């Protein structure tokens, strides 16, 4: 005899499916919007996350990947003239990543493309803030 599934377990499974589905839609959206700029999804993600000078470790954290993966992505962006490495002002072991003028323009164009038909565009700004708060709470819960 099988034990009946509790309603909470069913709701949690359904919620996980929705979160995974949204994550897949966002990943597909980034991939599609990166193509016209000649970027991979990982390169587009790196450009999107570069809101200012940062270390490779900081970028990797924002990209949710290992620093070695971020390094590979930055190597490609550097070859394209979109990013440059400079000496870190306080840590001689680290490099600071900066967008070049071309990289800044590419990032602005990318952000425009990402805002078009985004999987989150069906939510109002207030709903997006609520969703963000709920996701942050779920991610920081022990």
CATH code, domain carrying 18 = 1.10.10.10
Report d(CA 9, CA 90) in Å as an integer: 49
Give how many domains the chain has, as a whole number: 1
- How much is the average pLDDT of 13-30? 94
Contacts of residue 42, defined as CB under 8 A and 6 or more positions apart, other chains included, come to 63, 65, 69, 73
Q: Is residue 111 part of a domain?
A: yes
Q: Is residue 131 part of a domain?
A: yes
Instruction: Say what the pLDDT of residue 88 is.
Output: 87
CA distances from 12 to 18, 27, 67, 96 (A): 10, 22, 32, 41
Q: Is residue 69 part of a domain?
A: yes
Q: Is residue 16 part of a domain?
A: yes
Q: What is the pTM of this model?
A: 0.85
Q: Is residue 92 part of a domain?
A: yes
DSSP 85: E
Structural domain harbouring 27: 7-140
Structure tokens at 5: 């599934």
Instruction: Say what the pLDDT of residue 5 is.
Output: 62
């Amino acid at each position: 005899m099988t034990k009946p599934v509790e309603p909470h377990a069913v709701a949690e499974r359904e919620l996980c499916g929705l979160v995974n589905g949204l994550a897949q839609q966002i990943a597909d959206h980034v991939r599609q919007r990166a193509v016209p700029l000649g970027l991979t999804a990982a390169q587009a993600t790196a450009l999107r996350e570069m809101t200012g000078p940062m270390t490779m470790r900081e970028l990797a954290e924002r990209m949710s990947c290992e620093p070695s993966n971020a390094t590979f992505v930055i190597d490609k962006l550097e070859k394209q003239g979109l990013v440059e490495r400079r000496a870190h002002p306080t840590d001689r072991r680290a490099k600071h990543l900066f967008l070049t003028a071309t990289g800044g323009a590419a990032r602005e164009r990318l952000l425009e493309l990402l805002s078009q038909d985004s999987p989150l565009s069906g939510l109002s700004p207030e709903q997006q803030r609520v969703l963000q708060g709920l996701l942050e709470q779920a991610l920081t819960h022990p």
